[in-house]
Structure 1
């Protein structure tokens, strides 16, 4: 009976170690806002861009402007990264837009939207994240 308990404990411990090893082998890197919009801008909203990055909506009370930056989780070879910002509803094109082959992020892009809701997005290699009709006022 003691042999069975030891074997069960060994199997449980081995499974836990393997699960831990799998977690360590594939760490999740999340993009963080690093002040790309400039002094006085703070993050007021954000959204995941699938597993590829994060789009950040920031605001400065000093300038009364919103700013968007779309950041990759990890830097690397240049890929298509895009950022868009508009008064809600966006319509057929983004009022403020930046897109190109970047190693880290697209933007910053700016828009004054006092008293209005905004639509904002980030796209990395075809995967999009963002929100519509947010941060009103």
Structure 2
């Protein structure tokens, strides 16, 4: 009788452990809630954004402690691989950064030093492209363009 109780206890613990592993495995493989700060870093604050049609949003972020801007394009509905891009350009210094490839949820981060400069930035998801030129500076008015190719 003691052996049967031990076997039953081991079986119950094994079932609990396997069930716990399955539950933990499901949670760990779930898609994370992607944010601009999750892509660029927690010190980066969102300073501008532009919709990429209904497919997602391109975010411009800034870190005041290091003077860098970061751009990330984040899909509204993550899923199958789609061509995506995120880019940023500083016309005064000609510094440029981009990330483009097929992704399931976001493109980026792309970083440049932008303190005291206007920046041009944008991104794409599938065949929808958005660009924002001369943004986040007092001297010039930004110009936004969205195209479907």
TM-score by length of 2: 0.64
Deviations 1:11-66 (A, max 9, x none): xxxxxxxxxxxxxxxxxxxx853531012101000000011110000000111100
Structure ranking higher on relative contact order (CA contacts 8 Å, 6+ apart): 1
1:76-96 Cα deviation digits (max 9, x unpaired)? 00000000100138x8xx810
> Is it true that 1:97 corresponds to 2:98 in the alignment?
yes
Contact 2:86 2:110 in 1 (8 A): yes
The higher radius of gyration belongs to: 2
Match of 2:62 among 59, 62, 73: 59
* Unpaired stretches in structure 1, ≥5 consecutive residues: 1-30
CA RMSD of aligned residues (A): 2.2
Match of residue 23 from structure 1: none
Determine which of 68, 79, 82 is the counterpart of 1:79: 82
Q: How does 1:29-40 map to 2 (within 5 A)?
A: 33-40=36-43
SS at match of 1:36: helix
TM-score (norm. length: structure 1):
0.70
Gaps of 5+ in 2: 1-33, 139-149
Q: CA deviation at 1:115?
A: 1.4
The residue aligned with 2:108 is 107
Return the match for 2:49 from 46, 49, 61. Answer: 46
Higher helix share: 2
In the TM superposition, structure 1's runs of 4+ consecutive aligned residues that sit over 4 Å from their partners are none
1:104 Cα offset (Å): 0.3
